[in-house]
Amino acid sequence: MQRKKVFVTGGAGFIGSAVVRRLLTRGYSVTVYDDFSTGTKENLPNDKALDLFVGDVGDFETTSLAIKGHEYIVHLAAQAFIPVSYNYTRSVAKTNALGSLNVFKASLNNRVKRIVHISSSEVYGSAMYTPMDELHPLNPRSTYAVSKLAGDLWAQTMAYENNLPVVVLRPFNTFGPQDTCPRFIPEVIRQCLKAKAIEIGNLATSRDFTYVEDVASAIVLALENEGIDGEVINVGTGKSLKMCEILEMIKQETGNKNKKVVEDRSRFRPHDVTLLMANFKKASMLLGWKPQVEFAEGLQKTIDWYCSNGMAWEYERRSLVSRCPQGPSLVSGDHSRET
């Protein structure tokens, strides 16, 4: 029996590599399409059913060529670290918005059977009510969120106008092993274990954190379920934790409960989202999905992975530890050329 072929943009990244591993265990043939601006080959398994195509979703011709012969698409490629978007607006728009449009158009040209487009809960802005369902008002509060919403709207419009077979998933905050960007949880783990003091930003905000393997499970289910083209589906736990609570949990789990905490105003985000909490009833109804890993368990798995893998996130290996929310040191490739 011939394997179904899945094309995963951003497949060498944090969530993408988890999706790739799950697809391979379920018997798919997978092509990873990545420019390796943040992803890494070390995230990918050695499997004869896995192919690698180095490319940028911002390049339509290359993307269209790479997609040929694939029945299914998981579109994860994005500039996903929010602080980068403050100073690198055009690069973020090129990747997240126009890159998504390129994937959709190439998919139409190649008669793809299903596209799972990965959005973000950031498109909702701060919660006007909780839990937040898919009808929650859209109020993006960063360039990143605007660029992701542009991709969502193109997906939905092309579904109506061109019968694009697309499903939009909106994961709330994802955490776990192999993170590639200096987000809150990996940064606190790093600083707890390696820094003299913990330099931190806004601890008053609250987020709905979902373990990366649960997010990957939802993505694969969206690829496999029939009759859901055009749908927008939230992926989250329905629970919210304050950053100050997570900080204390990480300090405790790493044996650093007395480590000094220093407020770093440069890490505060302008117009930060104060509260996110998902309603995942639609994911349960349409995909048969619900989160399996509790936050405390996922956090311990993440810390254990970090300690067992050289105590270095990918962004550390690249010397991209950013001390400010603008984070120009995080940017590589095309992003570094923007003025």
Rounded to whole angstroms, the maximal C-alpha distance in the chain is 58
Q: Are 19 and 11 in contact (CB under 8 A)?
A: yes
Local confidence pLDDT in tens for the 339 residues of the chain: 578 999 999 999 999 999 999 999 999 999 999 999 999 999 999 999 999 999 999 999 999 999 999 999 999 999 988 888 888 899 999 999 999 999 999 999 999 999 999 999 999 999 999 999 999 999 999 999 999 999 999 999 999 999 999 999 999 999 999 999 999 999 999 999 999 999 998 899 999 999 999 999 999 999 999 999 999 999 999 999 999 999 999 999 999 999 999 988 777 777 789 999 999 999 999 999 999 999 999 999 999 999 999 999 999 998 755 443 333 233 222 322 232
- Give the span between the Cα atoms of 335 and 339, in whole angstroms: 9
β partners of residue 91: none
Q: Where are the domains of the chain?
A: 5-181+209-239+277-294
Cβ-Cβ contacts under 8 Å for 145 (sequence gap 6 or more): 82, 120, 122, 123, 125
Q: Write down the pLDDT at residue 326.
A: 34
CATH number of 5-181+209-239+277-294: 1.10.3720.10, 3.40.50.720, 3.40.50.300, 3.30.70.1150? 3.40.50.720
CA distance 226 to 223: 8
Q: What is the pLDDT of residue 270?
A: 74
205: Cβ–Cβ under 8 A, 6 or more apart, which residues? 242, 243, 272, 273, 274, 275
Tally of residues, the chain: 339
pLDDT number for residue 201 = 87
Q: What is the pTM of this model?
A: 0.93
158's CB contacts (< 8 A; 6+ apart) are 104, 108, 164, 166
Given a contact cutoff of 8 angstroms between Cβ atoms, the answer to whether 101 and 154 are in contact is yes
The 8-class DSSP code of residue 29 comes to: E
Q: What does the pLDDT read at residue 334?
A: 30
Q: Report which residue type is found at 318.
A: R
